[in-house]
Structure 1
Amino acid sequence: MLFESSRLKLRKMTTEDTKLYHKWRNDQEVMHSTNPSLDVYPMETTKEFVEQVILGSHSAKSYIIVEIENERSIGVVSLTNIDYKNRNAECIIDIGEKDYWGKGYGSEALKLLLDYAFYEMNLHRVSLRVFSFNDRAIRMYTKLGFCQEGNSRQSLFRDGKWHDIIYMGILQNEYFEKRV
């Protein structure tokens, strides 16, 4: 099955996931390395976001990452800003359950999403943004074949310092070559 590996499976996000997503979205430690605003959201705002932006968008596909052994939802992975004409999309990943950090679940989930993006959707390019201090994520993206395409200098203020936002991308043929 395309959306399943030895340890993970991806399933479509539904409105029933709102409470869990709300928990992850408001966990400052989880969002520290991925969300530029670090706002705390009321449940109603998260509900509207899930219904309109995640589930109601024709240019986004979001999946809950489920660890198979315990059937535990551990994070979310998405393709956003899908441009079907130019065959481009952005990807986002958050492992919301901190006890699953640093164990390869993020890269495994992202491989499943990239397989879908390139093999099934026939996208030409997938891009992402990563904060310059997120060394672990940058290593993972590079290992998967993403290349740095640019950066937005000192555009994020976090922990009392200015940080760059790095733009990375991978092309379909690069992904196929990496998978061989």
Structure 2
Amino acid sequence: MFSTDRIYLRKVIKEDTDIYHKWRSNPNVMQNTSPNLDVYTREDTENFILSIIKSANSKSYMIQHRENDEPIGIVSLINIDYKNRNAECIIDLGNEDYWGRGYGKEAMNELLKYSFLELNLHKVYLKVFSFNERAIRLYERLGFEREGEQKEQLFRNGAWHGIIMMALFQDKFLQ
């Protein structure tokens, strides 16, 4: 269910703490994904991983390269609202060796299939920094549309940037 020719998704487990901490400690990775550029201890990261695992309204999956079983990143549904059938999605490609090669699109597509075909969600939404043009193009290729922007919400590298909200609806995904 969670695989392509190049990747597969598996549930995040406590043993993923070290690799996730490595990614979380990389400023290049965090630049595009975290509103708070901070220094995290390994204990902080472990607590975060444990909170993901225990959460009743989130599902997180490690993206693994099929050929060499190397972890590439994490893709998640968070804030799942089962009553109103919507959730926020997040992708974090922590392994820079796999950037710009289509792995993020494959992983997101698998997560979206699960969201709409298995969980029967009506809407999946996300937030993306306005300067992250590569991610915006990816989301648009997947069918996401802009719903709005929080202007000047993020101060990064000496300038103000917006946070763009995007969404994809089940009926559009299934077309």
Shift of 1:99: 0.7
Aligned CA RMSD, in angstroms, stands at 0.5
**Local SS of the residue matching 2:35:** coil
- Which residue in the other structure is 1:6 paired with? 5
Task: Report the counterpart of residue 167 of structure 1 in structure 2.
Answer: 165
Runs of 4+ aligned structure 1 residues displaced above 6 Å come to: none
TM-score (norm 1): 0.96
Structure 2 regions of 5+ residues with no counterpart? none
- The separation in 1 between residues aligned to 2:76 and 2:25, in whole angstroms, is 18
**Match of 2:81?**
83
Could you tell me which residue of structure 1 aligns to residue 114 of structure 2? 116
Q: Taking every aligned residue pair, what percent have the same amino acid on both sides?
A: 55
**Does 2:14 match 1:20?**
no
Residue type at the aligned position of 2:18: K
Residue 54 of structure 2 aligns to a residue in which SS?
coil
In structure 1, what is the Cα distance between the partners aligned to 2:152 and 2:63?
32
2:41 maps to amino acid: P
Equivalent runs, 1:63-142 vs 2, <5 Å: 63-142=61-140
Letter matched to residue 55 of structure 1: I
Give the distance between the partners of 1:140 and 1:114, measured in 2 at CA: 13
The one of 148, 151, 154 aligned to 1:153:
151
Q: What amino acid is the match of 2:43?
A: E
Give the number of equivalent residue pairs. Answer: 175
Question: C-alpha displacement at 1:45, in angstroms?
Answer: 1.0
Task: After TM superposition, give the deviation of residue 48 of structure 1 in Å.
Answer: 1.0
Which digits, 9 at most, give the CA deviation of each residue in 1:77-104, with x for residues without a partner? 0000000000000000011100100000
Q: How far apart are 1:70 and its partner, in Å?
A: 1.0
CA distance in 2, matches of 1:16, 1:34: 22
SS of aligned partner of 1:70 = coil
1:120 and 1:73 map into 2 onto residues whose CA distance is 24
CA distance in 2, matches of 1:92, 1:25: 14
TM-score for both structures, normalised by structure 2: 0.99
Query: Cα deviation per residue 1:34-66 (whole Å; 9 max; x = unaligned)?
Result: 1000111001111111112x1111010000000
**Whole-Å separation in 2 of the counterparts to 1:20 and 1:99:** 14
2-structure distance, mates of 1:160, 1:152: 18
Instruction: Report the equivalent of 2:47.
Output: 48
SS at match of 1:109: helix
Task: Give the C-alpha shift of residue 162 in structure 1.
Answer: 0.3
Q: Which runs of 5+ in 1 are unaligned?
A: none
